Chain A
Amino acid sequence: MKKKKALLALAGQPNCGKSTVFNALTGASQHVANYPGVTVEKMTGSYRYDGMKVEVVDLPGTYSLTSYSPEERVSRDFLLHEKPSVVVNVADASNLKRHLYLTFQLLEMGVPLVVDLNMMDVAERRGIDIDTQELSRQLGAPVVPTAIKKGRGKKELFKSINSVAGSERSPKPFNVDYGPLEPYLTQIENEFSENGAAFENYPGRWLAIKLVEGDSEAQKLIREHHSTPGKVLEFIENKRQEFESKHNEKPERHIAFSRYKVADTISRSCVKPKAVSTQPLSDRADAIICHKFLGPLILVGVIYLLYYLSIVQGYNVTNYTWPLLAKIRSITESFLPAPGFIDAPLIRSMTLWFVDSINALLNYIPIFFILFGLIAILEDSGYMPRMAFILDRIFNRYGLHGQSTLPMVLGGIYVGGCAVPGVMSCKGIPCERARFATILTIPMLNCLAKVPLYVLLINIYFADYKGPAMFFISTISLLMVLPVAKILTLTVLKNKDTSPFIMEMPPYHIPTIRGVLGRAVERVWLFIRKIITIVAAIAIIIFILLQFPGLSDERKAYYDTEKDRAIAGFYQKIEGNPYAEYVQGENLMALILYWNKYKNAKMMAKGKEAALAINEKFKAENPAFFKIVQPKRDKEAKSVNKAFKKLFSARKKLLREIKKEKIDNSFLGRVGRAMEPYTQYAGFNWRVNVSLLASFAAKESSVATLGALYEQEEEGETLETRMEKGEKGFTPLHALALMLFMVLYPPCVATSIMVKIQTGQIRWMIFSMLFPIVLGTAVATLIFSGGTALELTGLQAMIAFYGLALAITIGMGFLKNKQKTI
């Protein structure tokens, strides 16, 4: 009977077009997750063809199937344990020999294989002619030539998959001839045929090959399943040594070498040699793109463009999307209970805080979308490895990696990035130690959310040197990232695995719109799903910490009397006025809300006509209120208007005082105060402490909290003037210490979650939060206490610190990296 359901795994070496094949097969139905326990991305999708429903899993692209990297282990485990009913091996026709190396390993595992010989168009262009029937005969598996990007061969691929998945026959075994190693393999294989059922899940010859290669995962299998593991492993080790001393070659080398020999023979017999070998276009392009002088210039240009299009232009787009978010807020507001004269219902303030916190993150989505789209272009075009090629020398000196470039750019290597996508893109760094060093230092770069605080402080305390101060803060972060990365590499990360740099420089390709948009959407969606939910939870916690325990009964009574006095005063003033009857009792609060709504509507309205329309609308809603709001020549209405304005600002003042007192009195406020004796050496008073604590949810709130703490005395006073007034003792030195602390501020909640996802461990997340606090406090203390002791001005301290950081960075570059055994 024909099977109706099938599980398909896509395997192949990097850059063979596997993702493109995946998209061609599954269309729009895709889903990303991680393989359990590792940070390797798992793409799944499904399709239906000719009555067969096929689940597709895109295995990570790997050159081989050893157990040296998590990607290779994941692929291998999937093939062994999930037992897909068909495996499509995507191979690059223009590079058949190297790709056959993986094909053999798949065949050795005994999986039902379809070879998708992709990139036929490229092969043809290069004059490479392949006899696919002959290839199929020699491999004993169907071979389907495709040029999937052009849609060629798609139907044949579908058909071939169905016929393999639908057949019950087990695949024909294919054996590479390992020559002098063959007797050893037979002996080892016999060892488990005696051990029976425990190993029937694993192809005997494959297991024998892996064991003789000295593969650690295969040894683990023996230890777990064999009745006498010690004996078997010893037997195998003896055999390995015997082979090595006899043939002067390690068995694993011999195996790899034999595979290439067979690959060479097969590709010779199936591929007509190229007519003429011309220098490929990609190589000619690289002569410019990787050129000594032009290369770095082009790189800077590309990075600038990436920054300009996503951060600068993306920010402009948020001007159009922000009103949408504001709309969501006002719609939410309309469902909430109305505020009282001085006390808003808890549910109201909490919900609005919640919406504001989420909106602050959602506001970044246009930026992310553009950013992710551009990165997908960089990835698909093949420029990414060139970036790594050009910069590896520098990064390697500091324990980072050529492929740290992109995460650094995203994180905000100058100003204005975001650590979330930065940390997210660290996935591509193959060397574990460098990957961790990159993940841990990216939050020290200047993300967009740190910028408002810099701007605020520079405008007040470095007003005469805005340009140099901005340059200082933009570049100092990199001068701290590099030495810190180096220190981490030499200390906490010194036992992490390193991998060789060896990297393919794939030919350039023109990216497809579909591929780019698909990836951008998918990553934005991942961001929304993973980040927003947790940020929402943290927002609530911070809210509670800022609101509770709230005011004492005594203070509440005090504010109530103040309120009553203000209201009584108002009624007294308008006594006898004909409009007084409209504002009695409940109506007073209604007027306040009406007034607010009117002012807001007026502020949003653009143009004269819109303003007139609003007037008409409000007039129709409540003519008496409208008269009070817009008295024109009506004397009596005017006098009510005047009295009401006074009442209105009295209310505002009360609300502000209450808010401030609540924060003063809140849990977070108490913590801020309790920290003051320690943080005073860094120049932070308790208000600064509170705002720094609250910033943890999202750094942009540092300025917002400061805004709440430095109360507004006159309408429209900017925070700059308020802060200057409120903090008489605050000097440029204080400001500098605060800015540098902000540079070293621990990752925000969203980034912390990303750190957890990318490192796979909570303890690294906690470490990533703790070490910046220590470092930041140390640096801020050095600036403030040191600067005070030496009687430096803010500017002098800035210059001194820059010189120090530069010297340390250069010095660190000369320190030797600890090499792990090769």
Chain B
Amino acid sequence: MTLDNLRPGSECLVKRLNAHDKLGQRLMDMGVYPGLKMKVIRNAPLEDPMELELDGYYLSIRHEEARFVEVEDR
């Protein structure tokens, strides 16, 4: 299951990052790494992008990028 499929309110565990190069590095640098718990807070008014909470801070990410984050629903 990938992150872009999650609805607001759901929590998940990051399993794998399928993105390479820039996107993968950027996700890592901003604190998205395997084993991390996060929560989908909301979608933007026009559905895209989505907002996540991880470790006490908030990130927004486009669904097309969230596709590359493999997660496990909890």
Contacts and interface: CB of A to CB of B under 8 A. Distances in A.
Contacts of A501: 49, 60-62, 65
23 contacts: A63-B29, A64-B25, A64-B28, A68-B21, A68-B22, A68-B25, A101-B29, A256-B29, A282-B58, A286-B58, A290-B45, A293-B45, A388-B60, A390-B44, A499-B22, A500-B27, A500-B61, A502-B60, A505-B51, A505-B59, A505-B60, A821-B21, A822-B20
B45 A505 contact: no
B31 A502 contact: no
A396 B21 CA distance: 21
Given A822-B21, A822-B23, A502 B45 contact: no
B30 A502 contact: yes
Given A283-B53, A293-B45, A389-B60, 7 more contacts: A64-B25, A95-B57, A253-B24, A500-B62, A502-B65, A504-B30, A505-B58
A682 B20 CA distance: 51
Interface in A371-397: 385, 388-390, 392-394, 396
A252 B61 contact: no
Interface range on chain A (Cβ under 8 Å from partner): 35 or more
Interface in A201-225: none
B60 A260 contact: no
Contacts of A97: 31, 55
A94 interface: yes
Interface range on chain B (Cβ under 8 Å from partner): 35 or more
Contact of B60 (A64, A385, A396): A385
Given A95-B56, A501-B61, A821-B21, A291 B28 contact: no
Contact of A502 (B26, B33, B34, B55): B26
A421 to B, nearest CB: 25
A231 interface: no
Contacts of A95: 55-57
Interface of A: 63-64, 66, 68, 94-95, 97-98, 101, 250, 252-253, 256-257, 260, 280, 282-283, 286-287, 290-293, 295-296, 385, 388-390, 392-394, 396, 402, 499-506, 819, 821-822
A502 B58 contact: no
Nearest to A499: B22
B31 A260 contact: yes
Contacts of A260: 31, 33
A570 to B, nearest CB: 74
B29 A504 contact: no
A291 B28 CA distance: 28
B55 A98 contact: yes
Contacts of B30: 63, 98, 502, 504
Interface string B1-32: 00000000000000001011111111111110
B72 interface: no
